[in-house]
Amino acid sequence: MSWSRIRGQDTATAFLRRSIAAGQVSHAYIFLGPDGAGKSTAGRIFAQALLCREGGEDPCGDCRDCRLMEAGSHPDFAVFAPRGKARLIKIEQIMELQRAVGLKSHRGGRKIFIVDEADSMNLEASNRFLKTLEEPPEGTVLILTTSRPERLPSTVTSRCLAVRFYPWSFDLMSGFLAERTGLPESSYPLVHRLAGGSPGRALVFDEDWARDWRAEILDYFSAGPPSAAREIVSATERWSGMIKRRMDDLSRQRKKDRREEFAQADPAVRDEIEKEDQAWLDSERRACLALIFEYILSWYRDLLLYRITEREEVVANRDRLDSIRKAARVSGLRRLREMLDHAQTAGRDLLNRNASLPIVLTSLLVRAGGENK
């Protein structure tokens, strides 16, 4: 592995390489930044460079330590990552980490441990982890990665040296999407924005359910949104159903993943687990709502921009160019502005005021259907 594998993170990689060259290696790091920015890979390369017998800032790739690192079987290196679809780091994993930290290194050099998505530790796990962070044995290097540092106790984050990784630029993201997904190029701007520059999050939009949702919503608007109450109610029901099915899937998976932990926990911890699960599901539900509204907004934004500029390259849903051209021709500028406003307000009401989905959606779709009366 070499540093060239990390894209678009020159500040972070330069810093890490400098600290190797200067021999100033901290006992604990926290790599902060969006999912998929290369935090974990950077941690592995950093670890390999620290363990390499050549001792340079670039791992030689050829010595016994480098070969074991590339095979993933180096005795002085381990990664602890969330398990299962529920993506949790359990106390058992932290106890295993503590045991490994407590052993002398295999070769007498450093021993390096990565805790991936460290914010997935539950309270019990992070309290236990804190003990290791407070007094790790000589030569230990702990690397935490997280895209959500606010979920970690400050007692943990404050003991680590922060290294920042940044959201990807649009160009970097486009290359990645072309390489790794089957998404149409026309959807790249939308995906880049929705994913907040995180390649990891961007991959979600290539999953079947997300593609289905997008098709369903854009089909609805492309066909000219209906004005009949029956059709509006049926669309509202369909879309609520999509969200419910996804939430049911996630919830079932989460329960399955935590069944064992739950069964072994004492009652107080069970409450804690249930609360955590609920909070996680709530945040996933909000993400689903945001996604639906982002698709609706993308439609009206495309119409408005195309109506004003008549240029194809401003359109985000480029695979729907024909329908957008047609719809833009028959819509008034003022009306498009109003609809965009309505859609934005509706989205805000849902996300920030916990308004009811069927009510907000119905009233928005009634307005959308208004032009086709």
Sign of CA dihedral 211, 217, 218, 220: positive
Give residue 108's region: left, alpha or beta (phi > 0; psi -120 to 50): left
Q: Which does 151 bind (CB under 5 to 8 A by kind): other proteins, Zn ion, none?
A: none
CB of 336 to other proteins, least distance (A): 53
Contact letters for Zn ion, residues 54-83 (x by CB under 5 A): ------x--x--x-----------------
Helix (H) or strand (E) holding 192: helix 188-194
Sign of the Cα torsion 241, 245, 250, 251 reads: positive
**Nearest distance, CB of residue 53 and Zn ion, angstroms:** 5
Residue 63 interacts, among other proteins, Zn ion, none and using kind-specific CB cut-offs from 5 to 8 Å, with Zn ion
CA distance linking residue 133 with residue 22, whole number of Å: 23
Shortest Å, Cβ 118 to other proteins = 18
Angle at 278 between CA 275 and CA 281, to 5 degrees: 150
For residues 193 to 232, the per-residue mask of contacts with other proteins, x marking binding by CB under 8 A and - elsewhere, is ----------------------------------------
Residue 340: name its binding partner from Zn ion, other proteins, none (Cβ under 5 to 8 Å by kind).
none
The interface with other proteins within residues 103-142 (CB under 8 A) comprises 103-108, 128, 131-132, 137-138
Q: Of 302, 364, 320, whose CA–CA distance to 214 is shortest?
A: 320
- Min separation Cβ 321 and Zn ion, Å: 52
Q: How far is the CB of 72 from other proteins (least distance, A)?
A: 5
Contact stretch for Zn ion (CB under 5 A) within 50-58, 102-110, 124-132, 336-344: 50-58
> What is the Cα 104 distance to its own chain's centre?
36
- φ, ψ of residue 267 to 5 degrees: the values are -50, -40
Judge whether 6 and 41 are in contact, CB under 8 Å: yes
Quick note: the x/- pattern for other proteins over 59-98, rule CB under 8 A, is --------xx--xxxxx--x----------------xx-x
Q: What is the DSSP letter of 167?
A: P
210-220 b/e (C-beta count within 10 Å ≥ 16 → b): beebbeebbeb
Binding site for Zn ion (CB under 5 A): 52, 60, 63, 66
Binding site for other proteins (CB under 8 A): 67-68, 71-75, 78, 95-96, 98-108, 128, 131-132, 137-138
